[in-house]
Structure 1
């Protein structure tokens, strides 16, 4: 298989094993008797709801997903809202979800479907906070370069639904099934943990905002995050059923079937995209043939006015190391940063082709415009909505 075809096949395999239609049913119990209500939020949540109904039949419920990520369900209502910055549609749907779960009793049963993206899609601003203020904080965090764990910690304390508050509002027993998109698979961080207690404090959230130069909202003083061990969470079972490690392992199996020695560097890598690319470049100077795989969630500190997401920025910074490698860096949800593009491909002649077109790679990197760079080369990876989300996927193929 040609290098670029192999890299695309590895990414497709990583996405495939995390598709809820292929993986969720095995983790469902038999359908409980009595009233069953399905709720959820995230980029994969509509696909998860579709998989639930394929196994259980039509169900009552409400799920919030990103615009364009809806799926046909027979009973569960699918609402679309904005991501990564929340909008009024998400606020209205979240209010309805809170009312729904608050109306249930211990005789009912709730299945919660949580995946990456729920932090923005499940939006109920803290008391005294407007949607506009919430949007401003979200946008500032996204542009700051703050790690996802810090962003989600702040989001919890500015919400009436995150940090265990959704589960605490419900008297019915609840099973929460999650697709992990966070380094380390910490359930309290997935979607900012609407069904998971959290031990962090509003003071910690304020310190994070101050660290990244973001004004601290007054509403932070009204945080309602539910601590672990709160008796209201005793009726909740939280379970991760799909994670980045599974997707990387599947890609490794496929590569080794092609006779390529493969090393997984980790599924929880974090850091500034261009800096991680430079670190990876040092590893890519090893003798091949060898495939390096990694996952996690990189960040970009926005310095310019471009649309380059962390995967495209990683790929551009890696290309600028002038190595004789092929590489792919993509987000498994099909959306890298603010662009409707999964990521990009790097080839040994990326810089040569760019310069032949009059493109200055450093200028594109300086203005965070890696997507425009790879678009000009025809080296973007465009998948459309993948309907799942197990974080970033990076593959570097070192020749023999």
Structure 2
């Protein structure tokens, strides 16, 4: 997958090296390759994570794929299952270029990041497929980032519009993915383990993680995973974040906390005895591959973390401090050096501008790094989409701040207005990939060369 720098002419060899690192990170989380790594056939036998699955026990195979990587994951699994009788559903974001036939699976192009009627229909069809499973059925759930939007079925008393409003309010308040999904699961008839609860047939879930820490109950809001969170916790999140949500949402959560609605299936629930949740790939795979590429290009490299969270501009402050220590003191590495991190930051939106967490991270870094020679910093969303923009992320150098001033722009004003996309559109440095058909969170690379 190519990463293109827009308006990046003359940015130099260091930018090219960082872009090569990002491209290698993306290649490492190719969904088809990850499925084939964990599911294999040998001599007519099926092996999942090295353990044999006795195909003679089954005569009905169900494939339910949902998320940004659903199409390539389903394509890989269909080619492995070959002539076996398969039925099921695939739900991908509207506009996805599905390159291979997924027949006999039913394909839905659903709303993302905002769910729509197709999202509801896909969730309903998936529940119907597992409800129709019998003693000789085996189900595969292929889950990746975007699942929460692409298969969305509101619980009793809640509308799709209620859920959309709640999600938007929490995102603008800077809620973490864990907080967001805690609330989502308690407003859903699909997430939070309910898919697993609807059947007694074995389910093998192959999960591509876009969540820091790879918690299966958080990825895609955990349709096949036990949910340790509660209605009371969901209420506490809304109160602490002081967000405006509909009366339907408050009523559902308050009644649930009072025991008037059943809790989501919890750890220890018998329904999970027949479920195997397997994380086939995640952010660390991308970070590790990017770091290896930076080493191959001659940079002393450290993989700092794959669990970066918190406000984007605060993460930028921390990483910029590391860049200064490398440049001026040679710690923790002497130049030429690269620091690779992964994870997913958040942005508390206070302005009216356009951007995403990666672009905001890089804009903030351009301010902290101003005047520092031979430094490059880039951050990229592995799904190719950073916020409601056409960019995947951005790249800056120690000269970006000065370049902005020279054309009459004040970086601090753009940051205050959460307008990172407009800033990099004018200054140059937007990173674009188009849809990548994968999603494991974000990758960022900090590169400091010799003076």
Q: Report the TM-score when normalising by structure 2.
A: 0.86
* TM-fit CA distance, 1:171: 2.3
Partner of 2:341: 294
Quick one: distance in 2 between partners of 1:358 and 1:75? 57
Partner of 2:27: 16
2:146 matches 1:117? yes
State the 1:223 CA deviation: 5.3
| CA deviation after TM superposition for structure 1 residue 368, in Å | 0.7
Q: How far does the alpha carbon of each residue in 1:4-48 deviate from its partner, in whole angstroms, 9 at most, with x for none? A: 111111111111111112221121154545211100211111121
Distance 2:363 2:36 in 1: 39
1:93 maps to: 122
Aligned positions of 1:1-400 closer than 5 A? 2-30=13-41, 32=55, 33-57=58-82, 59-71=86-98, 72=100, 73-214=102-243, 215=245, 217-220=250-253, 221=256, 222=261, 224-287=263-326, 288-321=335-368, 322=370, 323-324=372-373, 325-400=375-450
Report the Cα distance in structure 1 between the residues aligned to 2:293 and 2:318, rounded to whole angstroms.
25
Name the SS for the 2:412 alignment partner. Answer: helix
Q: Distance in 2 between matches of 1:70 and 1:161?
A: 26
Report the number of matched residues. 400
Contact between 2:231 and 2:263, CA under 8 Å: does it hold in 1? no
Structure whose alpha-carbon radius of gyration is higher:
2
Deviation at residue 105 of structure 1 after TM alignment: 1.1
SS in 2 for 1:170: coil
Contact 1:21–1:51 (8 Å) recurs in 2: yes
Give ranges in structure 2 of 5+ residues lacking alignment. 1-11, 47-54, 327-334
Quote the Cα distance in structure 2 between the aligned partners of 1:248 and 1:223.
40
Post-superposition CA distance 1:244-263 (Å, at most 9, x none): 11111111111111121111
Is the partner of 2:125 in helix, strand or coil?
A: helix
Report the Cα distance in structure 2 between the residues aligned to 1:100 and 1:23, rounded to whole angstroms: 25
SS in structure 2 of the partner of residue 74 of structure 1: coil
Q: In structure 2, how many angstroms separate the alpha carbons of the residues matched to 1:291 and 1:29?
A: 36
Q: Secondary structure at the match of 1:234?
A: helix
Distance 1:25 1:74 in 2: 19
Query: Mind listing any 5+ residue stretches in structure 1 that lack a counterpart?
Result: none
- Aligned residue number for residue 8 of structure 2: none
CA distance in 2, matches of 1:91, 1:191: 15
Q: Residues 298 and 336 of structure 2 are in contact (CA less than 8 Å); yes or no, is this contact kept in structure 1?
A: no
Q: Distance in 2 between matches of 1:289 and 1:103?
A: 59
In structure 1, distance between residues paired with 2:232 and 2:312:
29
Could you say what secondary structure the match of 1:185 adopts? coil
Given that 1:202 and 1:223 are in contact with CA atoms closer than 8 Å, whether structure 2 keeps it comes out as no
Distance 1:104 1:176 in 2: 16
- TM-score when normalising by structure 1: 0.96
Contact residue 70 and residue 78 of structure 1 kept, 8 A: no
